[in-house]
C-alpha cells in the first residue's frame, strides 16, 4: 500500500493515541500480579499485541474488551512454542527478563529487523542473577532457562534503557534483594522512570540513587489494580509538528506532566517559536515561522525523525546531536532520514554524531520508510508542505505504534490518497 500526499492546509482536533510504552509496562506488571487487573484505554498496535501474544503463551489469561484489557496474572508456565516478538524491541527485551521467572525453557524470536538489534548486555546481566541464558552473538534469538536468584548486576546504561527496565520488572520476584549498578551514565532516563512509576502503581517500591545509576529492589509482590493509560507523546509529536508546519492542530488527552521522554517536543516547539496554546489536556499548535535549533536527542531518540522534518523549514541551520543509538532502531534512522531528506531537496550534512539541516523548500519524492513506522510518519508530515506529490511506500508499517495514523491525517484535512 502507498500513500500519496499533497501540500495541505490542515485543521482538526484529535485525541492522542494511548501510550505504547505505558501499555507494555501495564501489561507486564498485571501479568506478574496475582489476581485480575484492568488496563483502561490501552494502545492496541503491532508492538503491544506482540507482548500480549507472548504473555498468553506463558499462560497468562488476557481478555480484550472494547476499551480495556483484563489480565489474570500471577502464574507463568513454560511455553509450548517459541515466543515470537514480531519487530517489537520492547517486547523482546522486557519479556526476555520476564522469562527468567518461568520454571522451564523459553526461546524468544523476532522479525528480520529485531533480529539485528543488540540484546547481549541484558543476557549478561541475567547471568549475574543465576539465569542460564544465551543469544546469537549480540542478537536474538534468545534462550532462557533458569531460576531468578538475588544478587548484584552490573550493566551499561548507554545501550538501551529497556535492559534496565527488564531487570527492574523481575527484581521484586527474586529470592532476596537485587541491586542493579550501571557502569555508564543512563541514557533515555525517562523510560526507566516510567517503569518505576508503573511498578509503584502495582505496589512495588524501587530504591533509586539520585544519579539513576544504582537501583535496589527488595523481595515484594505485585498487586492487581485498575490502571488507565495516558496519551502517547511519541505519536502526538507528529501531529503537533504538523500543526506548527501546515495549519492548526488540536490534540487532546496528553499529560503535560508526564514522565514520557517525548514530552520534550513541547519545549522544542516553544524554543523554535511555534505558536502553542495549552488548556488542561488540550494542546493547540498553529502554523508558525520557526527558528533554528540545536538539540541533543540522546534522551528522547524517538523524536529524531520528526525533528529532522520540523527543522527543514526553520530559519537558518539547525543541528541535531546525540544520534549514535539511532542506527540500531527499527531501521538505521540516521541513514533513512538522510536519504529521504536529500531526495526531497533538503540540505542535510552528517558529521560524527551530529547532523545539520538547513532551511529548504522540500519537494515531493518517493520515500521508502525501511519498514520503520516513525520514518513513514515523519515523511508524511513533510509531504504536507512539500511541492508536488510525496509518495510513502509500505504504509502498513505505522501499525507498529499508530495504526490509525492515515485516518487521523485525513481527519485533519491532509490531502492523502491511499493506493494498493
The domain ranges of the chain are 2-17+230-419, 20-223
Q: Do the domains at 2-17+230-419 and 20-223 have one common CATH topology?
A: yes
| β-bridge mates for residue 182, sequence order | 155
The percentage of the chain sitting over the pLDDT mark of 70, rounded to a whole number, equals 99
| pLDDT on residue 279 | 86
What is the average per-residue pLDDT within 313-326? Answer: 91
Q: What is the pLDDT of residues 148-198, one digit of tens each?
A: 888 999 999 988 899 999 999 999 999 899 999 999 999 889 999 999 999
Residue 353 has pLDDT above 90, yes or no: no
Bridge-based pairing state of the strands 35-40 and 226-228? parallel
Residue 324 has pLDDT above 90, yes or no: no
| pLDDT on residue 165 | 98
The rounded distance, in Å, linking the Cα atoms of 329 and 335 is 11
Model-level pTM? 0.95
What is the average per-residue pLDDT within 259-279? Answer: 96
Residue 352 has pLDDT above 90, yes or no: no
Question: Cβ distance 395 to 1 under 8 Å?
Answer: yes
The band of 330, judged by pLDDT with boundaries at 50, 70 and 90, is low
The band of 281, judged by pLDDT with boundaries at 50, 70 and 90, is confident
| pLDDT on residue 125 | 96
CATH number (1.10.30.50, 3.40.1160.10, 3.40.50.300, 3.65.10.10) of 20-223 reads 3.65.10.10
User: Which helix or strand (DSSP H or E) is residue 286 part of?
Assistant: strand 282-286
CA 141 to chain centre: 21
Q: What is the pLDDT of residues 234-246, one digit of tens each?
A: 999 999 999 999 9
For residue 317, what are the contacts with CB-CB under 8 A and spacing of at least 6? Answer: 292, 356, 357, 358, 359
Q: Coil, helix or strand for 205?
A: coil
Q: Coil, helix or strand for 142?
A: strand
Cα–Cα distances (Å) from 107 to 95, 121, 136, 412, in that order, read: 11, 17, 12, 43
Q: What angle do CA 13, 14, 19 make, to 5 degrees?
A: 155
**Active-site amino acid positions:** 302
| CATH fold label, 2-17+230-419 | UDP-n-acetylglucosamine1-carboxyvinyl-transferase; Chain (3.65.10)
Q: Of 214 and 150, which is predicted with more confidence?
A: 214
Amino acid at each position: 500500500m502507498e500513500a500519496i500526499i499533497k501540500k495541505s492546509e490542515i485543521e482538526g482536533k484529535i485525541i492522542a493515541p494511548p501510550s505504547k510504552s505505558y501499555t507494555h509496562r501495564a501489561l507486564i506488571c498485571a501479568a506478574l500480579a496475582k489476581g485480575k487487573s484492568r488496563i483502561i484505554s490501552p494502545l492496541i498496535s503491532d508492538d503491544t499485541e506482540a507482548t500480549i501474544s507472548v504473555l498468553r503463551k506463558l499462560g497468562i489469561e488476557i481478555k480484550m474488551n472494547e476499551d480495556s484489557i483484563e489480565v489474570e496474572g500471577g502464574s507463568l508456565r513454560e511455553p509450548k512454542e517459541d515466543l515470537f516478538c514480531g519487530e517489537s524491541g520492547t517486547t523482546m527485551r522486557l519479556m526476555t527478563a520476564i522469562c527468567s521467572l518461568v520454571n522451564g525453557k523459553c526461546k524468544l524470536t523476532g522479525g528480520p529487523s529485531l533480529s539485528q538489534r543488540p540484546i547481549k548486555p541484558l543476557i549478561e546481566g541475567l547471568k549475574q542473577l543465576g539465569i542460564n541464558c544465551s543469544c546469537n552473538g549480540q542478537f536474538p534469538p534468545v534462550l532462557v532457562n533458569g531460576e531468578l536468584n538475588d544478587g548484584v548486576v552490573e550493566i551499561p546504561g548507554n545501550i538501551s534503557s529497556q535492559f534496565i527496565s527488564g531487570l527492574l520488572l523481575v527484581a521484586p520476584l527474586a529470592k532476596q534483594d537485587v541491586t542493579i549498578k550501571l557502569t555508564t551514565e543512563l541514557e533515555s532516563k525517562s523510560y526507566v522512570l516510567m517503569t518505576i512509576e508503573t511498578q509503584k502503581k502495582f505496589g512495588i517500591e524501587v530504591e533509586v540513587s539520585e544519579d539513576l545509576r544504582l537501583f535496589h529492589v527488595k523481595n515484594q509482590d505485585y498487586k492487581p489494580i485498575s490502571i488507565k493509560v495516558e496519551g502517547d507523546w511519541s505519536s502526538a509529536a507528529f501531529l503537533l509538528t504538523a500543526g506548527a508546519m501546515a495549519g492548526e492542530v488540536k490534540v487532546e488527552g496528553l499529560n503535560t506532566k508526564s514522565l514520557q521522554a517525548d514530552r520534550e517536543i513541547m519545549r522544542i516547539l516553544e524554543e523554535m517559536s511555534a505558536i502553542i496554546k495549552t488548556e488542561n489536556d488540550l494542546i493547540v499548535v498553529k502554523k508558525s515561522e520557526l527558528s533554528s535549533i540545536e538539540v541533543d536527542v540522546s534522551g528522547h531518540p524517538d523524536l529524531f525523525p520528526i525533528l529532522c522534518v520540523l527543522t527543514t523549514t526553520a530559519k537558518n541551520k539547525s543541528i541535531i546531536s546525540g544520534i549514535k543509538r539511532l542506527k540500531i532502531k527499527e531501521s538505521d534512522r540516521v541513514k533513512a532520514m538522510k536519504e529521504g531528506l536529500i531526495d526531497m531537496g533538503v540540505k542535510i550534512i552528517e558529521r560524527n554524531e551530529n547532523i545539520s539541516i538547513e532551511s529548504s523548500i522540500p519537494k515531493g519524492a518517493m520515500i521508502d520508510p525501511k519498514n520503520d513506522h516513525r520514518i513513514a510518519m515523519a515523511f508524511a508530515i513533510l509531504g504536507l508542505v512539500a511541492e508536488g506529490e510525496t509518495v510513502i511506500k509500505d504504509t502498513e508499517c505505522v501499525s507498529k505504534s499508530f495504526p490509525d495514523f492515515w485516518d487521523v491525517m485525513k481527519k485533519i484535512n491532509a490531502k492523502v490518497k491511499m493506493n494498493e
